[in-house]
Amino acid sequence: MLRLLPFVVATCTPAGLLLAACVFGGFWAGSAILAITVVVFGLDKIGRVAPVSKEDGQRLSVMLGVLHFVLLGTAAWAMNEPLPVLDKVLLVIGCGLYFGQISNSNAHELIHRADRWAFRLGAANYASLLFGHHTSAHRLVHHVHAATPKDPATARSGMSFWAYLPRTWAGSFRAGLKAERQRHGGTRWPAPYIGYVIGALVTVAAAYTLGGFSGMAGVIAIAVYAQTQLMLSDYVQHYGLERRVQADGSREAMGPQHSWNAPQWYSSAMMLNAPRHSAHHTRPNRAFPQLDLDADTMPMLPHSLPVMAVIALVPPLWRRMMDRRVAAWRAPLSEEDSVLVPVTP
């Protein structure tokens, strides 16, 4: 269990600071944001890559999944309390960062669990962020079609994040719905999607009950910011890397070379090893402490995932930094592979 201590500290410290910010405001709101940004950046610079562990980590994931609702409800309540406007703005930003980087990573972990209650908890976490369809789109579409034009979550080389953002949100919603319809015999609105809508409505109603219109507006703002964080992660982790079309028209198997990774230890611990993305795609059911890194076979980002997400907001800077790296990983394609042209999805 001691091997999970970095994950516990990195994920729970910001949550504690945000809860304090909901109650007291002031110093605590700013501290929470610093803990998720500046402190993470600094610790990444002085630490080492965390080792692979045989730990399962499910107890921590379930605890974080429950903590998600405690923090979201407390934030809704705080929006209607007599806190300064600046404190409330900082609270929305801090919660958006927390839910987008930590709760998202944890919900992602839960929806890949075989345990049905863990899965449902992860799906409920996503639904409470008004993003429930990600549960279906991620498992049924992204993991099947990642690194191909059929995946709305994979950004083609040269595509800016701002062009990617509406495309991936709407495309993932439609693709996930189509996949669920196929699983449920063509039902127009399959049960999972009905559940996502109900979950979103319950969240908004609960936010209104706890914090009135201010609480409802605050939770919606937090959810939108958290969704943007999630889509930034997908953009960064799959930018420009594409599986080749083979002679028979099929795509090559998903391999370690088809996702971007980051080795920094503390941001990785905070995001439950989500930056070890190639290992996750190779074995989606492997628990987060068990994910490994191999710099020889896995493309590495020049900076940590949170830093690269910020850079992605500035397309010229992003392309200057990443396009040559994309080209280098695509360079091994030989001339005889040049017949492997993109096909219509």
Which pLDDT tens digit goes with each residue over 20-36?
A: 999 999 899 899 999 99
Mean pLDDT of all residues belonging to the chain: 93
pLDDT at 339: 37
Let me know if residue 101 belongs to a domain.
yes
Let me know if residue 12 belongs to a domain.
yes
Let me know if residue 345 belongs to a domain.
no
Tokens at 309, concatenated: 């997400």
According to DSSP, the residues that pair with 300 across neighbouring strands are 261
Q: DSSP states of 36-86 as a string? A: HTHHHHHHHHH--PPPP-----HHHHHHHHHHHHHHHHHHHHHTTSS--HH
Average pLDDT over residues 37-51: 88
The answer to whether 277 touches 260, Cβ cutoff 8 Å, is yes
Q: Which residue has better confidence, 222 or 249?
A: 222
Q: Which residue from 263, 324, 286, 301 is spatially nearest to 49, judged by alpha carbons?
A: 263
pLDDT at 15 over 60: yes
pLDDT tens-digit series, residues 46-95? 977 777 888 899 999 999 999 999 999 999 999 999 999 999 999 999 99
**Three-state DSSP string of the chain:** CHHHHHHHHHHHHHHHHHHHHHHHCCHHHHHHHHHHCHHHHHHHHHCCCCCCCCCCCHHHHHHHHHHHHHHHHHHHHHCCCCCCHHHHHHHHHHHHHHHHHHHHHHHHHHHCCCCHHHHHHHHHHHHHCCCCHHHHHHHHHHHHHCCCCCCCCCCCCCCCHHHHHHHHHHHHHHHHHHHHHHHCCCCCCCHHHHHHHHHHHHHHHHHHHHHHHHHHHHHHHHHHHHHHHHHHHHHHHHCCCCCCECCCCCECCCCHHHCCECCCHHHHHHCCCCCCHHHHHHCCCCCHHHCCCCCCCCCECCCCHHHHHHHHCCHHHHHHHHHHHHHHHHCCCCHHHHHCCCCCC
Q: 3-state DSSP call for residue 246?
A: coil
Let me know if residue 87 belongs to a domain.
yes
Let me know if residue 35 belongs to a domain.
yes
What total number of domains does the chain contain? 1
Domain hosting 257: range is: 2-339
pLDDT at 54: 84
According to DSSP, the residues that pair with 92 across neighbouring strands are none
How many residues belong to the chain? 345
Considering only 120-124, 232-236, 338-342, which range has the smallest mean pLDDT? 338-342
pLDDT at 39: 96
Let me know if residue 221 belongs to a domain.
yes
Let me know if residue 215 belongs to a domain.
yes
pLDDT at 53: 84
pLDDT at 48: 75
pLDDT-based confidence at residue 2 (cuts at 50, 70, 90): low
Q: Which residue from 326, 107, 320 is spatially nearest to 223, judged by alpha carbons?
A: 107
Tokens at 94, concatenated: 């801090």
pLDDT at 332: 61
Let me know if residue 145 belongs to a domain.
yes
pLDDT at 310 over 70: yes
pLDDT at 316: 98
The number of C-alpha atoms within 13 Å of 97 and in the hemisphere containing its C-beta is 27
pLDDT at 333 over 80: no
pLDDT at 340 over 60: no
Q: Which residue from 323, 267, 226, 247 is spatially nearest to 45, judged by alpha carbons?
A: 267
pTM over 0.85: yes
Considering only 38-42, 45-49, 272-276, which range has the smallest mean pLDDT? 45-49
